[in-house]
């Protein structure tokens, strides 16, 4: 797989394609980042962007993971001390998941975001940004909480992080899109360079196929899940035998979350997927890519129940090292 393909595969959006093509010409030594609010337990949402980071490393790009302790503080996730403790757990889980320790730089936001130069730039950016714009950028991240001044500062800091971490590329879920667009617009106003962004999709809710998987309620698969938890959660997933399900009665678009998990979590990490099936149902099946599996589900060759069992097995394998790490950390 060539560098451009590694950078863009499974991406929902690439901004801009020309800039990323340029980057792919000579990826060695270039720097890309994702910022995460520290969390004690990684879930599939984190792992989806981590998959992209693994792709980037394979293409020769240096990866920076911003452990965004100051951002989490702004977002009222606890004291800086508490936040840093969970950040350490997060770091350990990322490495267990498969990020290359030699090529991954973990940076605490608080180590540079309180510096004088940064703070001055932040205030300049505050002058250059309307409240309306900052709030719109933050809306996806903020959720239902009442808007505070901290919520307006939050995306402005993300904008500056891209400059201060000396990056060539910003990576994030599609929920980060407005923040990255704000950054692309504002960085030149401070005489800094524009950087491209790559956005991963937001996967559908497991049980309904609608909306987002980790939208507050809903079932989330995380590093904490036992093998049994995984089986139970995957088994209860919405899974019609098709890749584009009909909208529900209220007209909401639906995806097939089981197929999405195969596409975005399983196939990027495994060259071959084996469906173990009793003779009664036709015996084992082997897939080397997502398309073939999706086509078989669509045709009826692969029954959803067998797809689910297989999915749970592979997700379990992906999560196992992180789960073990968590167990160690917690004693």
Partner RNA sequence: CCGCCCUUAGCUCAGACUGGUAGAGCAGUCGACUGUAGAUCGACUUGCCCCCCGUUCAAAUCGGGGAGGGCGGACCA
Among 117, 128, 149, 305, binds RNA (CB under 7 A): 305
CA distance 37 to 78: 11
Choice between 16 and 236, CB closer to RNA: 236
CB of 127 to RNA, least distance (A): 24
Piece in contact with RNA (CB under 7 A), picked from 25-33, 120-128, 134-142, 233-241: 233-241
**Binding-residue total with RNA (CB under 7 A):** 22
Site membership for RNA, residue 238 (CB under 7 A): yes
CA distance 80 to 154: 15
Q: Which of 34, 49, 54, 43 is nearest to 99 (CA)?
A: 54
Site membership for RNA, residue 138 (CB under 7 A): no
List binders of RNA among 47-76 (CB under 7 A).
none
Site string for RNA, 152-191 (x = CB under 7 A): ----------------------------------------
Site membership for RNA, residue 281 (CB under 7 A): yes
Q: Which of 200, 258, 198, 266 is nearest to 233 (CA)?
A: 258
Among 59, 306, 310, 311, binds RNA (CB under 7 A): 306
Site membership for RNA, residue 303 (CB under 7 A): yes
Angle between helices 177-186 and 149-164 (to 10 degrees): 60
CA distance 235 to 309: 7
What is the distance of C-alpha 157 from the center of its chain? 20
Among 117, 128, 131, 147, binds RNA (CB under 7 A): 147
Choice between 169 and 311, CB closer to RNA: 311
Choice between 15 and 312, CB closer to RNA: 312
Choice between 191 and 250, CB closer to RNA: 250
Among 102, 146, 166, 328, binds RNA (CB under 7 A): 146
CB of 256 to RNA, least distance (A): 9
Site membership for RNA, residue 304 (CB under 7 A): yes
Among 79, 119, 226, 236, binds RNA (CB under 7 A): 236
What would the two tokens of residue 300 be? 């009826």
Site membership for RNA, residue 77 (CB under 7 A): no
Q: Computed from CA positions of residues 162, 168, 173, 175, in that sequence, does the dihedral angle turn out positive or negative? A: positive
CB of 261 to RNA, least distance (A): 13
Q: Which of 212, 264, 257, 216 is nearest to 238 (CA)?
A: 257
Report the 10 Å Cβ neighbour count for 217.
9
Report the 10 Å Cβ neighbour count for 86.
19
CA angle in degrees (0–180, nearest 5) for 118-85-227: 125
Among 10, 235, 269, 270, binds RNA (CB under 7 A): 235
User: Environment class of residue 295 by beta-carbon count within 10 Å: exposed (0-12), middle (13-18) or buried (19+)?
Assistant: middle
CB of 303 to RNA, least distance (A): 3
Piece in contact with RNA (CB under 7 A), picked from 36-44, 184-192, 223-231, 238-246: 238-246
Do the beta carbons of residue 41 and residue 319 sit within 8 Å?
A: no
CA distance 323 to 317: 10
Q: Which of 255, 242, 252 is nearest to 203 (CA)?
A: 255
Binding site for RNA (CB under 7 A): 146-147, 207, 217, 235-241, 248-249, 258, 277, 281-282, 303-306, 308
């Amino acid at each position: 797989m060539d560098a451009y393909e590694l950078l863009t595969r499974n991406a929902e959006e690439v901004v801009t394609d020309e800039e990323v093509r340029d980057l792919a010409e000579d990826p060695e030594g270039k720097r890309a980042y994702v910022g995460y609010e520290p969390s004690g337990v990684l879930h599939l949402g984190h792992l989806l962007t981590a998959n992209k980071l693994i792709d980037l490393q394979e293409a020769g790009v240096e990866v920076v993971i911003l452990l965004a302790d100051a951002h989490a503080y702004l977002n009222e996730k606890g004291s800086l001390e508490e936040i840093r403790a969970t950040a350490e757990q997060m770091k350990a889980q990322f490495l267990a998941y498969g990020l290359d320790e030699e090529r991954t730089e973990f940076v605490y936001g608080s180590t540079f975001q309180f510096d004088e130069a940064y703070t001055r730039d932040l205030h300049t950016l505050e002058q250059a940004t309307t409240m309306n714009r900052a709030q719109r950028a933050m809306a996806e991240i903020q959720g239902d909480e009442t808007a505070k001044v901290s919520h307006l500062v939050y995306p402005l800091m993300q904008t500056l992080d891209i400059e201060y971490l000396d990056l060539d590329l910003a990576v994030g879920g599609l929920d980060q899109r407005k923040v990255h667009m704000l950054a692309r617009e504002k960085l030149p106003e401070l005489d800094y360079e524009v950087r491209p962004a790559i956005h991963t999709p937001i996967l559908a809710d497991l049980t309904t196929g609608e909306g987002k998987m980790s939208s507050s309620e809903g079932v989330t698969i995380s590093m904490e899940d036992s093998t049994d938890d995984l089986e139970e959660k995957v088994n209860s997933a919405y899974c019609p035998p098709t890749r584009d399900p009909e909208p529900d009665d209220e007209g909401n678009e639906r995806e097939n979350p089981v197929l999405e998990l195969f596409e975005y979590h399983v196939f990027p990490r495994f060259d071959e997927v084996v469906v173990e099936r009793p003779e009664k149902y036709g015996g084992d099946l082997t897939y080397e890519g997502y398309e073939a599996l999706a086509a078989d589900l669509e045709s009826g060759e692969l029954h959803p129940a067998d797809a689910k069992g297989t999915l749970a097995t592979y997700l379990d394998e992906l999560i196992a090292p992180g789960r073990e790490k968590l167990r160690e950390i917690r004693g």
